[in-house]
Amino acid sequence: MASEIFERLLKEVTPEESQFVEKNVAISRQVRHILAVHPTINSQKALAEALGKEPSEISKWLSGLHNIGLENITKMEVALGRDIILTDEQARERYEKPAAGYQVFQVSRYKGKVDNSVHYPGWSGKRNITYTPIDEKNPGSSH
């Protein structure tokens, strides 16, 4: 009975609502990850202090259900000195651009496959894992 009600409620969730919660949870996880490694602001309480907010407010923001809003995300980014969200273009610009003075000489890509049907006796987690090259290019002096 309970599962039927749950199934019915689940069907009533719109794709927008689902996407909203997914994005919110991803942002919340990212903030928690930054807090875990930040040298000074390493707790929700410390973040609340840095922003001049109540800890309960930060807790609400990071619940995954609250509409944090771009303004508050930006405030957290400034306080933490780290980006919380990046567009695809920004991420590529940041992580794919070679550091100054460096010359890219090889980019190799591989596609891997895991055969979860292959079990190794005595090693429950071990599966047959393989890879094959899928692309390779030498950018030469253009970078």
Partner 1 sequence: MAKKKFDIGKLDYLYIRDIAFTYSMPDEPDIPEKEGNPTGYSMEIVKMFNMEQEVIRLVFTIEMETKLESAKEIRAVYTTEHLFQVKGLSEWVTKAEEKFVVDPELNEALTIQAYSTARGMIHQKFNGTWFSDFVLPVAKSGALD
The residue ranges that bind partner 1 (CB under 8 A) are 6, 21-22, 25-26, 29-30, 33, 64, 91, 95-96, 98-99, 101-114, 116, 125-127, 129-131, 133-134, 138-143
Q: Which is nearer to partner 1, 40 or 117 (CB)?
A: 117
Q: Which is nearer to partner 1, 81 or 98 (CB)?
A: 98
Q: Which is nearer to partner 1, 29 or 45 (CB)?
A: 29
As measured in angstroms, the least distance from the Cβ of 72 to partner 1 is 21
As measured in angstroms, the least distance from the Cβ of 69 to partner 1 is 21
- For residue 84, give Cα distances in angstroms to 2, 23, 63, 73, 126: 37, 12, 16, 7, 35
Q: Which is nearer to partner 1, 29 or 60 (CB)?
A: 29
As measured in angstroms, the least distance from the Cβ of 95 to partner 1 is 6
Helix (H, G, I), strand (E, B) or coil at 141: helix
As measured in angstroms, the least distance from the Cβ of 106 to partner 1 is 4
Q: Which is nearer to partner 1, 10 or 52 (CB)?
A: 10
Cβ-contact 61, 24 below 8 angstroms: no
In this structure, what token pair is assigned to residue 110?
Answer: 């591989």
As measured in angstroms, the least distance from the Cβ of 90 to partner 1 is 12
The closest of 65, 79, 88 to 34, measured between CA atoms, is: 79
H or E segment to which residue 5 belongs: helix 2-11
- For residue 130, give Cα distances in angstroms to 107, 110, 124, 126: 20, 10, 18, 12
Cβ-contact 40, 15 below 8 angstroms: no
